[in-house]
Chains A and B, each alone.
Chain A
Amino acid sequence: MSVYSYFPGCSLSSGAMEFDKSFRLVAAAFDIGLDELTDWNCCGASPAPHHWGGDLGILLPARNLHIAGSSHDSMVAPCAGCFNRLKYAQHELAHNGELRRRTERVLREPVHYQTEVLNLVQLLNREIDPGDLAGRSQGRLAGIALGTYYGCVLVRPPEIVRYDDPNNPVKMEPLLKAAGATIPHFPFKTECCGSYMGLARKEIVLQASRRIIEVTLECGIDALVTVCPLCHQNLDLRQQQINDAFGTDYHLPVLYLTQAIGLALGFSPAELGIEAHLNADVGHWTLRNDDQ
């Protein structure tokens, strides 16, 4: 069993607890060991470091990298935002010696920054054999059309995260296909959801996310799949706000990747925390098969 240092970050410990819950279930199902970082701190993606300026946006993730790197060769950050900040810090520390020295003054020891940082898709692609998943899913997701929604920070900036094609990412597809779902062409895979503009200019988020939902339905997709808690928040939590603002009547489920895989493995929506979502109407997907 391979063991990874696990960085949940704030979302998976609060607003996206169901992401953490489903991730741990899927990890256990495939014998992936997760060792949560002790005494981890903010990943650096919260607004404070951006507005504070200075080195804080690097120092925060650098400390997490350092903690993980002191005990493990690889770490996983399921939240796309955490992943992005860790990769960013890693890149900056590797290329900026002065910054590295400043970081070490704060840490009071040589910084371990070279530990391998994996996002969730990367980890699952490495650890899950598609044939195995296909066998265990028993066609539970057959006939379900899933839209793979990657968002922005998982694949951008490409020279820093170096993961998948920034214009047309495809790495979630093999897992979901193995889980039995169909993956229609979806042109809005990386379209902006409005990000944290939800705080300052909510209408921007509502417009941007509405358009994503609109195109999703146009493509004949039953549910979106993502690994970004902020995207999830804009697309699921704000769906009623969108309906109120535009007079629409959307009820599009938005799942975390581990929830979709969890459904394929036979876990119930409740076990996977899907019922915590506002648009959670997926129960009938798998019941259909399990009843037979």
Chain B
Amino acid sequence: MIGVFICQCGTNISATVDTGKVAQAAAAMRGVADAESIQYACSDPGQAAIAAAIRHKRLDRVVIGACSPRMHEATFRRALDRAGLNPFMLEMVNIREHCSWIHSDVDQATEKAAGLVRKGIARVRHHLPLSAGKTAAVRRALVVGGGIAGIQAALDIAAAGIPVTLVEKSPTIGGNMARLDKTFPTLDCSSCILTPLMVEVKQHENIELMVNSEVDDVHGHVGNFEVDIRRKATCVDEKKCSGCMICQEKCPAKAPDDFNAGMGQSKAISVASPQAVPLVASLRKEHCRRFSGGKCRVCQKLCPAGAVDYGQQDEVVRQSFGAVVAATGYGFYDWTGAYPTYGMGLYPDVITSLQYERLLSASGPTGGHIRRPSDGAEPRQVVFISCIGSRDESVGRPQCCSVGCMYIAKQAILTKEHIPDSQSYIFYIDMRAGGKNYEEFARRAQTRYGTLYIRGRVGKIFPRWGKLVVMGTDTLVGDQVEIEADLVVLATGLTASDGAGGLARKFNISCDENGFMAEGHPKLKPVEAEAAGVFLAGACQGPKDIPATVAQAGAAAAKVIGLLSRGELETSPMVAAVSQSKCSGCFKCRDVCPFGAIEDERPAAGRTAARVLASLCRGCGICSAACPPGVISLSGYTDKQLLAEVVAALR
């Protein structure tokens, strides 16, 4: 006895599909005991109506024509379960995304919907009751990325008593937030609010911190990810190094200062910053004299702890995790190639906003005094240009960076506080100040700090008489403007961080067209990746500011805690099974299985046959299609079910 329920989804479906007609057509099919059109099948009354029909009409299988199963299959399975039916006796037919939303002709859409439902009815006839299994979940979480997102997620998970491994590729945690001077809109000192959290990560009994480390390889699935983590050789024994920085002081080889975004210089062996956690030196071989053929061993000789070891090798550690949080953060758009009219990096006094942040910071290369790079002079006229590599289709980047308007306003305010007789100008497109207290803050930049906002883009920056001329348009006045600047700050947009794409592939996380990791659903699954057991925190999912990042990291942590607190996970019963008596033992299935879920077994002497490890099988069906004698069957997707569907579709 089949029950068919056609959801109107308000007008989402009913505007294009005549749901009454579809129900009528279904009612005429063999075995259909009940067919009705429901306003909102997923609502409480909708689910109650389905449950009532199951009881009163003794339905033993149900077809629901509604939205995508990705949306509500789980909802309706629970409804069947509550009504006393096996939850897998459900077939969902997508007449919304696959039909009503993409068509406009009512008659044709109705006919198509009826056809799709007909397929579903033909298929549900062959459904069998299935039951979900259970598998133990490893009670340990992996957090990849040690910026504020990863720090917050790790602390929240650890606070729930679940052990965490935090993997960070650079020598210190803290990420980009550690490089900021102050934060909008409160002008909190960034390191003052971040450093205590960094230290807490280091000290937390439930957190294992691995810096200079990257995810090499991933096997397994939700509940049991087996992850190879590569600890990169830094030539410094982390356990012995005390962070005294004598090595850095005495090292004769200069090297770019990554922490200071290229402002100032560092050494080949260095501690990333005075607030680094862990406070440990690391050596960059590409800049070291010893590794470029020289004989220098100054750092090794002078290290009081004997921590320098030139022979150190990369080490790969394998660990198991029940869940993963990706918190790989963001990078900054490289403007030099895309904006040739801004000097391609040839003018030393055209810098990025992150570089300016380091000039503002007391821990930066100028000790918090604003000195322009070319001659060390204090600038009087500072021009900020917003939307560099954001909202600019001419460089293929239409997206908004979502933080630029605010951080420029902040930097303009700080400029005035550092140099009271300075004048800041901001070229902007629109003022985007949507967060709490943001608009007031940006307004203050204009009213109290005298920042001049010019609405328009900058066409060109060129040198004239020792100054940089910023030439642009004031679109409100409708005229060209030229400003003679001492320093130009480019508000570069945010990109996915380097290496985020590689990590995404390893964990089967999909990425959007801008390289940011894709959430499961833009509204309802904002922290879940599509791959089960993988969660997203912070700017790896899209540009966002610190409050939003911290909130998302907390949400991701809550999901991890929810997943791992039960100790075991339900597994899908839709897995493959081999009819071993008919198996010829060719093991084509093992060759094609992407999850390593097939092993060989000796059911009888002198004979091997394939066996599916249900805990590893993801139900993709590749083995079933590849099996030459056709003796592998996928529950829920048996040949009978698929053929019935095809026959009904072709009728």
Q: How far is the CB of A187 from chain B (nearest CB, A)?
A: 4
CB distance from A236 to the nearest CB of B (A): 21
Cβ contacts under 8 Å, B460 to chain A? 187-188, 191
Alpha-carbon distance between A187 and B344 when the two chains are bound, in angstroms: 10
A191 to B341, CA, bound (A): 10
CB distance from A96 to the nearest CB of B (A): 26
A-contact 0/1 string along B431-464, CB 8 Å cutoff: 0000000000000000000000000000011111
B346 located at the interface, meaning its Cβ lies under 8 Å from any Cβ of chain A in the complex:
yes
In the complex, whether A215 has a CB less than 8 A from a CB of chain B is yes
Query: Cα distance A57–B346 when bound, in Å?
Result: 41
| A209-225 interface code vs B (CB 8 A; 1 in, 0 out) | 00000110011000000
Confirm or deny: A168 has a beta carbon within 8 angstroms of a beta carbon on chain B: yes
Whether A165 is near chain B, meaning CB under 8 Å from some CB there, is yes
Q: Is B340 an interface residue (CB 8 A)?
A: yes
A125: CB under 8 A from chain B? no
Collect the chain A residues with CB atoms within 8 Å of residue B344's CB.
Answer: 168, 185
Bound Cα distance A168, B337 (Å): 10
Contact B341 A215 (CB under 8 A): no
B341 touches A218 (CB 8 A): no
Contacts of B379 in A (CB 8 A): none
* 0 or 1 for each of B449-484: is its CB under 8 Å from A? (1 = yes): 000000000001111110000000000000000000
In Å, the complex CA distance between A187 and B461 comes to 8
- How many Å lie between the Cα of A214 and that of B467 in the bound state? 13
By a CB distance below 8 angstroms, the chain A residues around B461 are: 187
The smallest C-beta distance from A160 to any residue of chain B, in angstroms, reads 16
Minimum CB–CB distance for A41 against chain B, Å:
36
- Counting contact residues on chain B (CB < 8 A from A), the size range is 10 to 19
A148 CB to nearest B CB, Å: 13
Residues of the A chain whose Cβ atoms lie less than 8 Å from the Cβ of B462 = 187-188, 215, 218
Q: Are B465 and A187 in contact (CB under 8 A)?
A: no
Contact A165 B340 (CB under 8 A): yes
Report the nearest B residue to A186, measured CB to CB. Answer: B462
Q: Is the CB of B464 within 8 A of A214?
A: yes
- Compute how far the CA of A187 lies from the CA of B350 in the bound complex, rounded to whole angstroms: 14
Residues of B within 8 A of A215 (CB): 462-464
- Measured CB to CB, the nearest residue on chain A to B466 is A218
- When A and B form their complex, what is the total count of cross-chain residue pairs whose Cβ atoms lie within 8 Å? 28
User: Of the candidates A165, A167, A191, A218, which one forms a contact with B463 in the assembled complex, judged by CB atoms under 8 Å apart?
Assistant: A218
In the assembled complex, which residues on chain A have CB atoms less than 8 Å from the CB atom of B340? Answer: 165, 167-168
Known: A167-B341, A168-B340, A187-B460. A218 touches B346 (CB 8 A): no
Chain B residues, CB < 8 A from A214: 464
Q: B343 interface residue, CB < 8 Å from A?
A: yes
A165-B340, A167-B340, A167-B341 given as contacts; is B346 within 8 A of A185 (CB)? yes
User: In the complex, which residues 219-276 of chain A have their Cβ closer than 8 Å to any Cβ of chain B?
Assistant: 219
Shortest Cβ distance from A152 into chain B, in angstroms? 13
Chain A residues near B465 (CB-CB < 8 A): 218
Q: How far is B464's CA from A218's CA once the two chains are assembled, in angstroms?
A: 6
- The CA of A165 and the CA of B339, in the complex, are separated in Å by 11
Q: Which of A160-201 contact B (CB under 8 A)?
A: 165, 167-168, 185, 187-188, 191
The closest CB in chain A to the CB of B394 belongs to A167
Write the nearest CB–CB distance from A205 to chain B, whole angstroms: 15
**What is the minimal beta-carbon distance from A201 to any residue of chain B, in angstroms?**
15
Write the B326-351 contact mask toward A (1 if CB under 8 angstroms, else 0): 00000000000001110110100000
Q: Would you give the shortest CB distance from B601 to chain A, in whole angstroms?
A: 64
Q: How far is the CA of A257 from the CA of B341 in the complex (A)?
A: 23
Nearest-neighbor residue (CB-CB) of B465 within chain A? A218
Residue ID in chain A nearest B337 by CB atoms: A168
Which chain B residue shows the least CB distance to A168? B340
Q: Can you name the residue of chain A whose Cβ is closest to the Cβ of B461? A: A187
CA distance A185 to B342 in the complex (A): 12
Would you give the shortest CB distance from A51 to chain B, in whole angstroms? 25
**In the complex the two chains form, what is the Cα distance from A185 to B346 in whole Å?**
8
Q: How far is the CB of A257 from chain B (nearest CB, A)?
A: 21
Min C-beta distance of B347 to chain A, whole Å: 9
Q: Determine the distance from Cα of A215 to Cα of B462 in the docked complex, in whole angstroms.
A: 8
| Residues in B neighbouring A168, C-beta threshold 8 A | 340-341, 344
Interface residues of B (CB under 8 A from A): 339-341, 343-344, 346, 460-465
Q: Which 8 A-B pairs have the closest CB atoms?
A: A168-B340, A187-B462, A167-B340, A185-B346, A167-B341, A218-B464, A215-B462, A218-B463
Instruction: Give 12 pairs: A residue, B residue, CB < 8 Å, sorted on A.
Output: A165-B340, A167-B339, A168-B344, A187-B341, A187-B343, A187-B462, A188-B460, A191-B460, A215-B463, A215-B464, A218-B462, A218-B465
Q: A167-B341, A215-B463 provided; 8 other pairs, C-beta below 8 A?
A: A168-B340, A185-B343, A185-B344, A187-B462, A214-B464, A218-B463, A218-B464, A218-B465
